[in-house]
Amino acid sequence: MKIIEVKTLAIPEVKIIRFARFNDQRGYFTETYRKSDLANNPDTSFMKKVNFLQCNDTFSKATTVRGLHFQWNPFMGKLIRVIVGNIIDVALDIRKNSPTFGKIVAYELGSEASHDYNDWIWVPPGFAHGVIVIKDSRVEYFCSGEYSPGCEASISPLAQDIDWSLCDKETRKKFDSIVKNTQLMTDKDKNGHTMKSWLDDKNSDNFIYGKC
């Protein structure tokens, strides 16, 4: 896995890991993941103790909205990349006492066969995660915890008390144009918590800054 660049987003725990593709007249080859490369590269030291236990593959039609999801017991961090397509990936800080609690960041991820790179986004435990699909897309998730029914919840992408002040304005416009008009969002996600109602839920005490 040839790591080209590691970028820190406005919430510093959320990272972009860009890796190389090797193109020629036939197409391309790439190594998408190698544990030792992530563990030994000084720019990805935050991945050193991460152990992935589950891998998910999802296809979503354009204007699909998924999220904002999270779980506890066990916590789940996610390493996400687009195999084909174009999405906006979002991460919302739900860690109590965090300096960025209630704030959200968004990053546009895409993948075209002609690109000589691809990106992972790392969303660690303590964040609600969502995907807004710009065009038909296939997405892969490496997860640091196994799915745990009954220990999951979501914040609605429509919640008015999410703080967007750290988000790029153009990306926010794309997000809003899809989320406010889509027919491809489950009622469960649409009717998820607001930040206030999540704080009133006793399960929110599972997410404390520095402890998850």
Token pair for 87: 């999405």
Contact 102, 157 (CB under 8 A): no
Mean pLDDT of 30-39: 95
Q: What is the pLDDT of residue 110?
A: 96
Structural domains of the chain ordered from first start? 3-206 (2.60.120.10)
| Rounded distance between C-alpha atoms, residue 85 and residue 114, angstroms | 12
Q: Where are the alpha helices (DSSP H) in the chain?
A: 35-40, 169-179, 187-190, 195-199
Give residues with Cβ within 8 angstroms of 40, minimum separation 6.
none
Mean residue pLDDT across the chain: 96
pLDDT of residue 183: 96
Characterise 129 by phi-psi region: left (phi > 0), alpha (psi -120 to 50), beta (else).
Answer: beta
Task: Give the active site residue among 33, 69, 193, 209.
Answer: 69
Using a cut of 0.85, tell me whether the model's pTM lies above it.
yes
Mean pLDDT in residue range 55-78:
97
What pLDDT score was predicted for residue 186? 97
Query: Span 127-138, mean pLDDT?
Result: 98
Distance CA 65, CA 111 (A): 19
Point out the catalytic residue in the list 107, 129, 141, 193.
141
pLDDT digits (tens, 9 = 90+) for 133-183: 999 999 999 999 999 999 999 999 999 999 999 999 999 999 999 999 999
Give CA–CA dist 106/117, Å, rounded: 20
Catalytic residue check, 141 = yes
Give the pLDDT score at 123: 98
The pLDDT tens digits for 77-118 are 999 999 999 999 999 999 999 999 999 999 999 998 899 999
Q: In the prediction, which pLDDT does 14 show?
A: 98
